């Protein structure tokens, strides 16, 4: 049986942000697209960082008693994606086996793995992609 590759399974329809975008805009995109990870790319689509839902929560007042949405919106509007994003990333490639990607994600406790060709972002592999493979394999 042939091993599946990351390129066969990864999501290619990506939602991305730029480093200078506001965290408020990033939050709105996460909610709109119902996603938990957003890759950060420069104008040439080179991967420069990643913001997760956990990063977003760390920078909001959601869990603080008495925090108003106006105050939270103001803070997130001023905060830039580049101030919050993780810059040092492990990445996958389209030719990487799904087994190797799963091992890396499990060992490092990653919820996603950005996929690059050279330095350019071409996809993202998430836990949901693994579930899709399991559900539809035959």
Instruction: Let me know if residue 85 belongs to a domain.
Output: yes
Q: What's the number of domains the chain is made of?
A: 1
Rounded CA gap, 86 and 77, in Å? 19
- Give the percent of the chain with pLDDT over 70: 88
Comparison of pLDDT for 89 and 1, the residue scoring more? 89
Instruction: List the domain range (segments joined by +) for residue 128.
Output: 6-136
Instruction: Let me know if residue 1 belongs to a domain.
Output: no
Instruction: Let me know if residue 64 belongs to a domain.
Output: yes
Taking only the tens place, the pLDDT of each residue in 29-86 is: 999 999 999 999 999 999 999 999 988 887 765 544 444 466 667 778 888 999 999 9
- Strand pairing of 47-52 and 37-41? antiparallel
CATH number of the structural domain spanning residue 89:
3.10.580.10
* Lookup: tokens for 100: 């190797």
pLDDT at 94: 98
Q: Is the dihedral of CA 19, 73, 33, 84 positive or negative?
A: positive
DSSP string of 73-106, one letter each residue: HHHHHHSBHHHHSB-S---B-TTSBHHHHHHHHH
Rounded CA gap, 69 and 90, in Å? 34
Reduced to 3 states, what is the DSSP secondary structure of residue 109?
A: coil
pLDDT at 67: 47
Compute the half-sphere exposure of residue 124: CA atoms within 13 Å on the CB side of its CA.
Answer: 23
Instruction: Let me know if residue 108 belongs to a domain.
Output: yes
pLDDT at 71: 67
User: Which residues, other chains included, contact 55 with Cβ-Cβ below 8 Å and sequence gap of 6+?
Assistant: 84, 85, 86
Residue 136 has pLDDT above 90, yes or no: no
Instruction: Let me know if residue 94 belongs to a domain.
Output: yes
DSSP 43: T
51 neighbors 19 (Cβ within 8 angstroms): no
């Amino acid at each position: 049986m042939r091993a599946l590759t990351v390129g066969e399974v990864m999501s290619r329809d990506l939602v991305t942000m730029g480093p200078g975008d506001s965290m408020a805009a990033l939050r709105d995109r996460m909610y709109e697209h119902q996603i938990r990870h957003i890759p950060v790319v420069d104008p040439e689509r080179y991967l420069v960082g990643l913001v997760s839902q956990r990063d977003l929560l760390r920078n909001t007042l959601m869990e603080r008693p008495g925090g108003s949405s106006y105050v939270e919106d103001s803070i997130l509007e001023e905060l830039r994606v580049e101030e919050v994003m993780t810059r040092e990333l492990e990445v996958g490639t389209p030719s990487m086996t799904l087994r190797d990607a799963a091992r890396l994600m499990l060992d490092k406790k990653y919820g996603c793995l950005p996929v690059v060709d050279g330095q350019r972002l071409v996809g993202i592999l998430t836990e949901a992609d693994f579930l899709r493979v399991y559900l539809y394999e035959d």
